[in-house]
Amino acid sequence: MLLIPCPWCGPRPEAEFHHAGQAHLTRPAQATDEAWAAYLYLRNNPKGPHAERWRHLHGCGRFFNCRRDTVTDRISGTSAPGAEAV
């Protein structure tokens, strides 16, 4: 189980959180089929450093960004949305 540092509540067990997918996806301004397919479905799915979102569902309820290595699962940092990326 991961120990995830919520930017507001501090380190908490993974069971309190909901994984909310790849971070920094922006809704396309132009609704072409390609742009929508990319926004809805295409993912980087990298083997290594990954920017993702979590929600502290059973805590403060807030979304935040997280940087985790998908090989070691080590979290290098979390940050509030809109704050400088970690």
Partner 1 sequence: MGGPTSFSAWGLLRRAFGGAWGEQWRSPEPKAAYDAVIVGAGGHGLATAFYLASEHGLRNIAVLDKGWLGGGNTGRNTTIIRSNYLWDESAAIYEHSLKLWEGLSQALNYNVMYSPRGVMMLAHNQHDVRVFRRHVHANRDQGIDNEWLTPEEAKVFCPPLDIGRDVRYPVLGAALQRRGGVARHDAVAWGYARAASALGVDIVENCEVTGISRGLDGAVTGVETTRGPIRTGKVGVVAAGHTSVLMAMAGVRMPLESFPLQALVSEPIKPVMPCVVMSNTVHAYISQSDKGEMVIGASTDVYPSYSQAGGPHVAMHTLEAICELFPSFRRLRMLRNWGGIVDCTPDRSPIIGLTPVPGLFVNCGWGTGGFKATPASGHVFAATIASGKPHPIAAPFNLDRFRTGRLIDEAAAAAVSH
Q: Among residues 20 and 60, whose Cβ is nearest to Zn ion?
A: 60
- The strand order across the sheet containing 75-79 reads 18-22, 49-55, 63-69, 75-79
Which parts of 46-65 interact with partner 1 (CB under 8 A)?
A: 46-47, 50, 52
Binding characters for Zn ion, 21-60, by CB under 5 A (x = yes):
-----------------------------------x--xx
84 binds, options partner 1, Zn ion, none, Cβ within 5 to 8 A by partner type? none
Q: How many residues does the chain have?
A: 86
51 binds, options Zn ion, partner 1, none, Cβ within 5 to 8 A by partner type? none
CB 11 within 8 A of CB 2: no
Return the sign of the alpha-carbon dihedral for residues 14, 46, 82, 21: negative
Our finding on whether 43 is near partner 1 (CB under 8 A) is yes
Which helix (DSSP H) or strand (DSSP E) does residue 60 occupy? none
For residue 1, the minimal CB distance to partner 1 (Å) is 5
